Amino acid sequence: KNQVEQSPQSLIILEGKNCTLQCNYTVSPFSNLRWYKQDTGRGPVSLTIMTFSENTKSNGRYTATLDADTKQSSLHITASQLSDSASYICVVSAAPAAGNKLTFGGGTRVLVKP
Amino acid sequence: DADVTQTPRNRITKTGKRIMLECSQTKGHDRMYWYRQDPGLGLRLIYYSFDVKDINKGEISDGYSVSRQAQAKFSLSLESAIPNQTALYFCATSERGSYEQYFGPGTRLTVT
């Protein structure tokens, strides 16, 4: 069964500090992995999309890594800001042969405190 | 400047009532999706449509139906709402050949 597990479920960090979120998946065959940011009361917004051949991608202060061999990804937030308070969702897409099915993780809720 | 809009944003309804959630997009995308989100769980796909005449079931379609009235409009109906359909519902769109999905702001539905 395809699964996406995220850790931690939640974390609190002080403004200006860095943090790293983890995503482990069992989706196969793999196509791509996405990280979304979801503000409270809003729809998810894409941060990064990585295919099998990419092992790192940045979007401003967000840097995602992918290890397709171990089926792990991380999202690193540098110099956190209050506006980074949100849920971060890891999403893994199966390959076209498996219908491009998306499997969503349960998210990590990040709270940045001043 | 919202490209994907959902109406209503919030709705409280009673068990057994029929309810329709609507989604409109101005992005010109062919593909549209309906998801539900429950606390602590990942989004789950209810239905998706790759074209006006194309409707496909997702992983949790039981109790739901959809209508793709036009390229820009995709509606989700609950024929007879039940309390465990209380959730946050999201519409999303994507362009053919792109991995990117664009989500609407969500509809919070409560069934009492």
pLDDT-based confidence at A100, cuts 50/70/90? confident
Q: Is a pLDDT exceeding 80 seen at residue A37?
A: yes
Min CA distance, B1 vs chain A (Å)?
14
Residues of A with Cβ-Cβ distance to B100 under 8 angstroms: 46, 49
pLDDT of residue A89: 96
Using a CB-CB cut-off of 8 Å, the residues of chain B touching A91 are 42
**Cα–Cα dist B49/B85, whole Å:** 21
d(CA A107, CA A4): 10
In this structure, are residues A104 and A5 in contact, taking their beta carbons and an 8 Å threshold? no
CA dihedral B37, B42, B47, B50 (to 10 degrees): 120
B73-78/A10-14 β-pairing:
unpaired
pLDDT bracket for residue B1 (50, 70, 90)? low
* Average predicted confidence (pLDDT) for chain B: 93
What value does the mean pLDDT of chain A take? 93
Whether A39 shows a pLDDT value over 60: the answer reads yes
User: Does B43 sit within 8 Å of A89, measured CB to CB?
Assistant: yes
d(CA A24, CA A74) in angstroms, rounded, equals 9
The residues near A70 (Cβ < 8 Å, ≥ 6 apart) are none
Query: Are the C-beta atoms of residues A4 and A25 closer than 8 Å to each other?
Result: yes
Mean pLDDT value of segment A66-78: 96
Average pLDDT over residues A14-41: 94
What mean pLDDT do residues A35-64 have?
A: 94
Chain B residue set in contact with A, beta carbons under 8 Å = 4, 40-45, 90, 92, 99-106
In the numeric block, the tokens 């990804």 are attached to A73
Residue range B86-98, pLDDT digits in tens: 999 999 999 888 8
What's the farthest any 2 CA atoms get from each other in chain A? 47
Q: Tell me, what amino acid is at A112?
A: V
Asked if A90 and A35 touch (Cβ cutoff 8 Å), the reply is: yes
Structural contact between residues A57 and A69, judged by C-beta atoms closer than 8 angstroms: no
Query: Which whole number is the average pLDDT over B16-40?
Result: 94
For the segment A21-42, the average pLDDT, to the nearest whole number, is: 93
